[in-house]
Structure formats: structure tokens, C-alpha cells
């Protein structure tokens, strides 16, 4: 875990450096709707873009407005200042408009030779699945042509198998966090996920074996209350650590740098492209999807009940319109289900705001009688 602690806050990790030195290619993506199996099937490292270090955003602010989410502005800042120069290209999605603004301004300045825009439908219907299959085929073709690799059906199915293995192991890690007493904390789980999001699936799977073996008998400090956390994109391990420092245990999550990235990736089809479309579009528990609120709510309630939580934290970055709006219904539904809620609007990565965040969490625990 000590190695993980370092890697989970580095952008250009030792692992990525080795990969590049061996001549490996790296593609950056940001959205949980990006099928990493397709990138991995091309022998390319799928690298999820993060904003570690929460940099000042003076370069990002020159291209995005202050009313854009700071996570996106921070990623853009890192891209523009050269921290991501090890990437060989970017895969954009229409996850949200802030994200699109980030990608397109990044590309406008950096002009990667490989830049692909994967258009993800906002509906889950038969025709949108068909559309997404076409989009995935275009992405497959673009990667294949630019990098000169043959992405065969077999390679895709092999990558699917590898990620199924990774997801099964992540579920075991989550079970270690959910059990009473837990063997792993919320901050540690996020470290693992962040680290894994910069690795090839096979290597992440091997790392998970080590983490599971190390953590099986561990006993983190005692806690006062078990909470579930949900909300907008965040890679802030320190936010989770701050919350847990007040005596809470983040026993479960519905974050896209968390369970939403892997919990349900199911599909029936024998055709690899159709299968990827089903796995991703079929289980995209994100408020960017229209008419899917009930499924998202059910997923959250099911997760909360399984983890036996005392309360929920809905956290979102200032100006995140998708999660800001979603929080209203989420709060009402969670409270109707008997789960008290703390809505925590915050600026991404603002360490100066730690005191106010901890005050609200501490008061929430006091409200829970903990």
C-alpha cells in the first residue's frame, strides 16, 4: 500500500514511465463511458486523466470560464503545462459540456496527432445501442489506422475477460471495506482505483491480488459511522481521507472514480462491439443519461443497503450542473428510504476549504448521534 500511496498521487507513475521506455503507447481518456477494453485490445495503455496536485488553473482559465467545473479546469491546466506530454493522444467523449470544453481546448493548443471523439448517446434504447456500436466501430478503426495495429475480435474478447477479472477482484476489495469491521478504508480504496486507472488491465489485476492478500487481515482505525459517498467526478483521495479523519468510514460509494466504473459491466452478445456497447451504455449510471434516474437511484439504494450505511454524502464540484441537479432528487429519495443525507458542494481540490468540509461532516456525524 505504501507504493500505492505514492502512485495514486503521481501522474507519470513509475509504471507509465516503464511502459513508455519500452516503446508502449498511452491514450488519455476521462469519462467512465470510454470502453478501455478497446484501447487495451490495441496493445495501448488506457490512461484515465486525473488532476492530481490540484494545480492552480491560470492556463486552464484562459480557455475555460471560472464557472466551469474546476476538475476539468485543473486537468486542462496539467495538459497545457506539459504534465501530460507523455500521452500519445486523447479520446474525448460528450460526458458533459465541461469535459468537452476541456478536451477541445486541450487539443486546440496541444494538437495531438491522434484525437478521437467518441459520441455517447444520452438514451438507452435499441436504436441508441445500434448508434453506439457504430461509434465504437469508428473508434476501433481510428485507433487501428493511426497506430497501425489490427484490433481483432479475439483481442477485444481477451481484453473483456481481463477486465471481468479486474472487476471481480475490485468487488472483493469492496467487500473488505463493507464488512464489519472493515479491512480497508475509503481513502485506500480510492488510491487503488486511481492507481489502476493508469495501468494495463492484466497488471492491475496482478496488483489487486497483492492488495487483497495484504489487506485481508488488516484492521483500520475504529470509526463512528458508515457512510456512502456519491456525486461528480473526483480523484480526491485527500477529500476521502479528510472525511474519514472526522471518524466516518466511507463504506461504499457511487462515484465514477469508484464503483460506477466497474460494478455492473454486463452484456449478452457474442459480437465484441455489440457486447462493449451493452457493457457501457447499458450500465452508465451517470446523470448525463436521460430517463435513467430510477435505475441510478435503485443502484445507489442497493449499494447503501448492502453496505449497511448510517448516512450518505452527496458531493459535487461547484458548477457541476449534472450532479447539482441530480442531488435534489437523490437527497429526497435517500431520506425517504431512511438514510440521512449531507449535501456537500465544494470546489475541486481546494485544500483551503478543508476546515469547512470537516465542520460539515463532523456536524453530520453529530446529527447521526455518532
Partner 1 sequence: MYYAGIDVGSLTAQAVVINSKGIHAFKSMGVKPHPVQSAKAVVDMLVQEERLPWNDVKFCVSTGYGREQVQAEGLSQDNMSEISCHGLGASFLVPEARTVIDIGGQDAKVIRIGPGGELIDFVMNDKCAAGTGRFLEVQARTLGLSLDELGMVSLNAEKILELSSRCSIFCETEVLHYLQRGHSKADIAAGVNRAMAERVAALVRRVGLEKEVTMSGGVAKNAAVRAELERMLNVRLIKYNVDSQIVGALGAALLARRMGGN
Other Cβ atoms less than 10 A from the Cβ of 155: the count is 18
Residue among 179 and 367 whose Cβ is closer to partner 1: 367
Least distance (Å) between residue 359 CB and partner 1: 5
DSSP state of 91: E
Are the C-beta atoms of 164 and 203 separated by less than 8 Å?
no
The nearer residue to partner 1, 107 or 350, going by C-beta atoms, is: 350
Residue 238 in contact with partner 1, rule: CB under 8 A: no
CA-to-CA distance for 335 and 338, rounded, in angstroms? Answer: 5
CB of 310 to partner 1, least distance (A): 14
The residue among 180 and 352 lying less far from partner 1, judged by its C-beta, is: 352
In the complex, what is the shortest distance from the CB of residue 67 to partner 1, in angstroms, rounded to a whole number?
11
Give the span between the Cα atoms of 278 and 64, in whole angstroms. 33
Shortest Å, Cβ 194 to partner 1: 24
Number of residues forming the site for partner 1 (CB under 8 A): 15
- Segment contacting partner 1 by CB under 8 A, of 34-42, 143-151, 273-281, 341-349: 341-349
Nearer to partner 1, 38 or 361 (CB): 361
Give the dihedral sign, CA 1/83/352/366.
negative
Rule CB under 8 A: choose which of 5, 216, 351, 355 binds partner 1: 355
DSSP for 25-50, please give it. -EEEE--TTS-HHHHHHTT-EEEE--
Q: Out of 32, 346, 349, 370, name the contact with partner 1 by CB under 8 A.
A: 346
CB 174 within 8 A of CB 189: yes
- Taking the least distance from each CB to partner 1, the nearer of 58 and 366 is 366
| Among 40-48, 170-178, 201-209, 347-355, the segment contacting partner 1 (CB under 8 A) | 347-355
Picking from 111, 113, 112, 53, the residue whose alpha carbon sits closest to that of residue 77 is: 53
Amino acid at each position: 500500500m505504501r507504493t500505492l500511496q505514492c502512485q495514486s498521487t503521481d501522474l507519470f507513475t513509475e509504471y507509465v514511465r516503464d511502459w513508455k521506455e519500452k516503446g508502449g503507447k498511452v491514450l488519455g481518456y476521462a469519462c467512465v463511458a470510454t470502453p478501455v477494453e478497446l484501447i487495451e485490445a490495441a496493445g495501448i495503455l488506457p490512461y484515465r486523466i486525473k488532476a492530481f496536485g490540484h494545480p492552480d488553473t491560470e492556463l486552464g482559465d484562459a480557455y475555460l470560464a471560472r464557472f466551469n467545473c474546476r476538475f476539468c479546469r485543473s486537468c486542462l491546466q496539467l495538459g497545457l503545462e506539459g504534465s501530460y506530454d507523455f500521452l500519445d493522444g486523447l479520446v474525448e467523449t460528450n460526458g458533459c459540456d465541461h469535459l468537452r470544453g476541456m478536451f477541445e481546448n486541450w487539443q486546440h493548443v496541444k494538437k495531438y496527432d491522434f484525437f478521437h471523439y467518441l459520441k455517447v448517446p444520452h438514451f438507452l434504447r435499441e436504436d441508441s445501442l445500434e448508434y453506439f456500436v457504430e461509434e465504437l466501430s469508428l473508434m476501433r478503426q481510428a485507433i487501428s489506422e493511426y497506430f497501425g495495429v489490427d484490433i481483432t475480435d479475439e483481442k477485444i474478447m481477451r481484453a473483456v475477460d481481463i477486465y471481468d477479472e479486474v472487476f471481480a477482484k475490485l468487488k472483493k476489495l469492496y467487500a473488505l471495506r463493507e464488512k464489519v469491521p472493515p479491512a480497508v478504508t475509503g481513502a485506500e480504496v480510492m488510491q487503488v482505483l486511481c492507481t489502476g486507472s493508469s495501468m494495463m488491465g492484466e497488471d492491475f489485476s496482478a496488483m489487486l491480488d497483492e492488495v487483497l492478500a495484504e489487506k485481508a487481515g488488516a484492521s483500520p482505525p475504529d470509526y463512528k459511522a458508515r457512510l456512502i459517498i456519491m456525486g461528480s467526478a473526483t480523484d480526491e483521495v485527500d477529500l476521502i481521507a479528510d472525511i474519514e479523519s472526522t471518524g466516518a468510514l466511507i463504506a461504499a460509494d457511487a462515484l465514477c472514480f469508484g464503483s460506477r466504473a466497474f460494478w455492473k459491466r454486463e452484456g449478452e452478445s457474442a459480437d465484441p462491439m455489440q457486447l462493449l456497447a451493452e457493457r457501457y451504455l447499458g450500465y452508465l449510471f451517470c446523470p448525463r443519461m436521460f430517463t435513467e434516474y430510477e435505475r441510478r437511484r435503485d443502484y445507489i439504494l442497493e449499494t447503501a443497503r448492502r453496505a449497511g450505511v448510517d448516512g450518505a454524502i452527496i458531493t459535487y464540484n461547484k458548477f457541476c450542473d449534472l450532479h447539482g441537479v441530480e442531488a435534489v432528487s437523490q437527497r429526497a429519495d435517500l431520506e425517504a428510504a431512511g438514510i440521512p443525507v449531507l449535501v456537500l458542494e465544494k470546489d475541486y481540490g481546494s485544500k483551503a476549504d478543508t476546515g469547512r468540509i470537516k465542520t460539515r461532516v463532523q456536524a453530520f456525524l453529530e446529527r447521526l448521534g455518532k
